[in-house]
Amino acid sequence: MRVVVLTGGVGGARFLRGLKALQARPGQSAPQISHITAIANTGDDITLHGLRICPDLDTVMYTLGQGIDQDRGWGREGETFTTQAELSAYGAGPDWFGLGDKDLATHLIRTRMLDAGYSLTDVTAALCKRWDIGISLLPMSDERVETHVFIEQDGEKVALHFQQWWLEHRAGIPALGFANVGADQAQPAPGAIEAIQECDLVLLAPSNPVVSISPILAVPGIKEALQAKTVIGVSPIIGGSPVRGFADACLAAIGVQTQAGAVAKHLGAKADGGVLSGWLVDDVDADQVQDLESFGIRAKAVPLWMSDVDATAEIAREALALAEGIR
């Protein structure tokens, strides 16, 4: 079977690593995965020091290419930050974005290729050649679709780039809402719609629903393409808290409770024009399964902590099993 995964950065990359492990060792009960396509959020992308940086694409690439810093979850293993320290010594900010020396090579090549007229899709494919990631990795769009965060400042509503809100302020300034700047003019990356149309299953990685999954769904055509597909999501919320990051601050801004079930309902049941066919919640959220089922979303409670690759492969297996039960 062909699988498409919509993904953000760290959590999504780890989920993909588990899915790849399942592909390599499917066991008796799981269907054989023939191909994985990841469509990654590029709403977090930012230009710093003249360099185009795509954090989610890079996190997926480095994670699947065995180049990731395992502890941090982002950036390169054995990374150093010499250039960044020098930029700061020159007074050239910002200092809230970790720009590693190894990572810089990726941004230099990407920027140079983009400046030469290549699309982000082509650039991503070129960079991935080195990393031999074993899946097809696509940006959600070749056009710039940037997530901006509205905050109140001196009584005025102003917009920050997502990265500044997330990294400099650590999501500590209450968000009034989010905008996917450029989404209405954007097209899905070449091959993204085709990958969805030709796949047997779409998975939503356990990524931030507001600033990772939602920007992908905001690219015209993607949500529509999902309608004809079985779509299984993995909850990024366990026991009322985000597995990682500040999803709670994001959900609060759009009036959604930080609960596995609430996020699923926000994404919506397919029968009601929403996205989801099914939704995996963690065992601690088993009490929300019944409610989701009556809402029209098939649900199951399984262990959702991606503590290692095997545990993550098991989550992926449960997602495939839930999909089997639906079709």
Q: Which residues bind its own copies (CB under 8 A)?
A: 49-51, 80, 82-84, 86-87, 89-92, 101-102, 104-106, 108-109, 111-112, 115, 127, 130
Nearer to its own copies, 108 or 326 (CB): 108
Which tokens hold the place of 98?
Answer: 């970790």
* Min separation Cβ 92 and its own copies, Å: 5
Give the other-Cβ count within 10 Å of 129's Cβ.
8
Q: How far is residue 269 from each of residues 124, 161, 211, 263, measured CA to CA in Å? A: 33, 31, 20, 11
Nearer to its own copies, 83 or 187 (CB): 83
* Min separation Cβ 127 and its own copies, Å: 7
Nearer to its own copies, 112 or 157 (CB): 112
Nearer to its own copies, 24 or 85 (CB): 85
Angstrom distance (rounded) from CA 214 to CA 207 = 10
Q: Which of 299, 279, 168, 204 is nearest to 11 (CA)?
A: 204
* Min separation Cβ 85 and its own copies, Å: 8
* Min separation Cβ 133 and its own copies, Å: 14
* Min separation Cβ 191 and its own copies, Å: 22
Nearer to its own copies, 34 or 82 (CB): 82
Nearer to its own copies, 132 or 156 (CB): 132
Nearer to its own copies, 82 or 197 (CB): 82
First to last CA, the chain: 13
User: Is 159 buried (19+), middle (13-18) or exposed (0-12) by CB count in 10 A?
Assistant: middle
Angstrom distance (rounded) from CA 174 to CA 160 = 12
Nearer to its own copies, 88 or 227 (CB): 88
* Min separation Cβ 209 and its own copies, Å: 33
Angstrom distance (rounded) from CA 87 to CA 13 = 29
Angstrom distance (rounded) from CA 185 to CA 21 = 37
Angstrom distance (rounded) from CA 59 to CA 286 = 31
Nearer to its own copies, 30 or 113 (CB): 113
SS (H, E, C) 20-62: HHHHHCCCCCCCCCCEEEEEECCCCCEEECCEEECHHHHHHHH
Q: How far is residue 97 from each of residues 103, 163, 221, 249, 272, measured CA to CA in Å? A: 12, 8, 32, 20, 40
Angstrom distance (rounded) from CA 35 to CA 201 = 11
* Min separation Cβ 118 and its own copies, Å: 13
Give me the amino acid identity at 142.
D
